[in-house]
């Protein structure tokens, strides 16, 4: 059915409301740097795992009866002058254009983990928004299309559309038409895979990842070196996933994350996200591995939180060992999770 959104009668009676839940994802080979900042086109492809237990739930409604847009994020009504407001507004315009309408929009969204602190909250947030818009506006987009549009909210959101292990292809075309993610393996493929998320502080980070990425590309002499090694990391990561080889996967992911941080640390002015707990966690995991032969590997995004890659039979040992680090506010155990889904319970 083709809906004509200019038809007054349909607009009054149709409910253009939907709610979606999206899990966040952690990159095993990171996305770092954009070849086109407007179209959010990355310089390199990336591979991630979508996590259960860490999600955003979002209800959207387009309505003729709304006098203006209303965006409520984690119980806070956004002001029109805020960057987050413009990001959601601009993002919604893509979907309104696809649907051929321009109604005001209400968004209520909740994320169940600390936002803007290096835990990829924008990934789950924009994946949930994209899926909710798709359903509310009856756009019937495919997963690949959803991934492509989610990218405009935040690059990493393109991967949270899918569950399990996911690859986001950088694409070659200038218009970004070949830049979207695909699933490598679903969430049931590796049941023993675990990520231990260590919240070292729930405070917001001092430089947003978008700005950090931009500054690194422009000013770090190590950025080219980063790009030269990523393809190899991607190839080896896919092999490690295919073999369910936790040691290879962990070593590649850890090295890849540290290389990304090396480009940040060497940008001008430098971006150093780590706090003392971050550093203690890194050293403890290295010790766990070297002295006690435990399969545990770190990865860190643009922030101070540490994620530890391990398996179900090692997770308690890792957690017990790290519980001595008193600065860690919270440990969250996570496994490969599902892709985005539509639910029937709305937030308003």
- Minimum CB separation from ligand DP6 for residue 281, in Å? 17
Task: Annotate 271-291 with DSSP letters as a single string.
Answer: -----HHHHHHHHHHHHHHHH
Q: What is the DSSP string of 228-280?
A: HHHHHHHHHHHHHHHTT-HHHHHHHHHHHHHHHHHHHHTSSS------HHHHH
Q: Which span sits near ligand DP6 by CB under 6 A: 27-35, 132-140, 304-312, 328-336?
A: 27-35
CB of 230 to ligand DP6, least distance (A): 11
Measured CA to CA, the distance from residue 18 to residue 132 in angstroms comes to 5
Of these, 50, 58, 122, 338, which contacts ligand DP6 (CB under 6 A)?
122
CB closer to ligand DP6, 170 vs 289: 170
26-34, 77-85, 101-109, 140-148 -> range binding ligand DP6 (CB under 6 A): 26-34
Question: Closer to ligand DP6 at the Cβ: 185 or 215?
Answer: 215
Q: Between 207 and 246, how does the x/- string for binding to ligand DP6 read (CB under 6 A)?
A: --xx--x---------------------------------
Q: Which residues, numbered 81-120, are part of the site for ligand DP6 (CB under 6 A)?
A: 120
- What DSSP designation does 155 have? G
Tokens of 323: 């519980």
Kindly indicate which of the ranges 4-12, 136-144, 148-156, 263-271 contains the residues binding ligand DP6, using the contact rule CB under 6 A: 148-156
By CB under 6 A, is residue 129 in contact with ligand DP6? no
Name which position in 20, 21, 27, 315 contacts ligand DP6 (CB under 6 A).
27
Judged by CB under 6 A, the stretch of 101-109, 197-205, 206-214, 267-275 that binds ligand DP6 is: 206-214
Considering the complex, what minimum distance in angstroms separates the CB of residue 259 from ligand DP6? 12
Cα–Cα distance between 127 and 344 in angstroms, integer? 17
156 is an interface residue for ligand DP6 by CB under 6 A: yes
301 binds ligand DP6 (CB under 6 A): yes
Distance CA 25, CA 76 (A): 24
Q: Shortest approach of ligand DP6 to residue 16 CB, angstroms?
A: 26
Residue among 210 and 317 whose Cβ is closer to ligand DP6: 210
Contact predicate 170/192, CB 8 Å: no
**Interaction between residue 197 and ligand DP6 (CB under 6 A):** no
Is 201 one of the binding residues for ligand DP6 (CB under 6 A)?
Answer: no
CB 28 within 8 A of CB 39: no
Q: What does the alpha-carbon distance between residue 294 and residue 132 come to, in Å, rounded to a whole number?
A: 41
| Nearest partner of 326 among 267, 264, 257, 277, judged by Cα | 277
Rounded Cα distance, 162 and 46, in Å: 14
Peptide bond into 269 cis (omega under 30): yes
Q: Is 308 in the site for ligand DP6 (CB under 6 A)?
A: no
The answer to whether residue 19 forms part of the interface with ligand DP6 (CB under 6 A) is no
Evaluate whether 24 touches 120 at the Cβ level (below 8 Å). yes
Look up residue 205 and give its DSSP letter.
P
Element (H, E) at 322: helix 315-322
Strands (E), the chain: 16-29, 34-36, 41-42, 46-63, 70-73, 76-77, 104-111, 165-168, 181-185, 193-199, 297-299, 306-311, 330-334, 341-343
CA distance 91 to 158: 13
Q: How far is the CB of 302 from ligand DP6 (least distance, A)?
A: 4
Quick one: 213 or 281, whose CB is closer to ligand DP6? 213
- Total residues contacting ligand DP6 by CB under 6 A comes to 15
Rule CB under 6 A: is residue 30 a binding residue for ligand DP6? yes
Minimum distance from residue 173 beta carbon to ligand DP6 (Å): 18
Chain residues that interact with ligand DP6, rule: CB under 6 A = 27, 30-31, 40, 46, 120, 122, 154-156, 209-210, 213, 301-302
């Amino acid at each position: 059915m083709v809906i004509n959104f200019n038809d007054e009668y349909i607009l009054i009676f149709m409910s253009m409301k939907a709610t979606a839940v999206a899990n966040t994802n952690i990159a095993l080979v990171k996305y770092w740097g954009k070849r086109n900042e407007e179209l959010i086109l990355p310089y390199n492809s990336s591979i991630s795992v979508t996590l259960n237990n860490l999600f955003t739930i979002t209800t959207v409604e387009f309505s003729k009866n709304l006098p203006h847009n209303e965006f409520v994020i984690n119980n806070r009504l956004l002001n029109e002058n805020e960057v987050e407001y413009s990001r959601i507004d601009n993002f919604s315009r893509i979907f309104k254009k696809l649907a051929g309408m321009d109604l005001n929009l209400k968004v209520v969204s909740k994320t169940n983990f600390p936002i803007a602190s290096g835990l990829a909250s924008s990934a789950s947030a924009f994946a949930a928004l994209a899926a909710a818009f798709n359903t509310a506006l009856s756009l019937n987009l495919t997963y690949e299309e959803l991934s492509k549009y989610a990218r405009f909210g935040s690059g990493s959101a393109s991967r949270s559309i899918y569950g399990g292990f996911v690859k986001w292809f950088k694409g070659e075309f200038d218009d970004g038409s070949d830049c979207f993610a695909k699933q490598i393996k679903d969430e049931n493929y590796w049941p023993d895979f675990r990520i231990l998320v260590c919240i070292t502080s729930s405070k917001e980070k001092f430089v947003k990842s978008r700005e950090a990425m931009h500054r690194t590309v422009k000013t770090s002499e190590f950025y080219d070196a980063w790009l030269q090694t990523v393809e190899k990391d991607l190839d080896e990561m896919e092999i490690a996933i295919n073999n369910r080889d936790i040691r290879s996967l962990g070593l590649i992911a850890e090295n890849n994350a540290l290389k990304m941080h090396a480009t940040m640390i060497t940008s001008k002015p430098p971006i150093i996200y780590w706090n003392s707990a971050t550093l203690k966690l890194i050293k403890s995991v290295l010790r766990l591995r070297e002295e006690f032969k435990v399969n545990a590997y770190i990865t860190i995004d643009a922030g101070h939180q540490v994620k530890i890659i391990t398996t179900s039979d090692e997770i308690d040992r890792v957690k017990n060992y790290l519980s001595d680090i008193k600065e860690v506010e919270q440990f969250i155990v996570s496994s490969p999770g599902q892709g985005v889904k539509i639910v029937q319970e709305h937030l308003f």
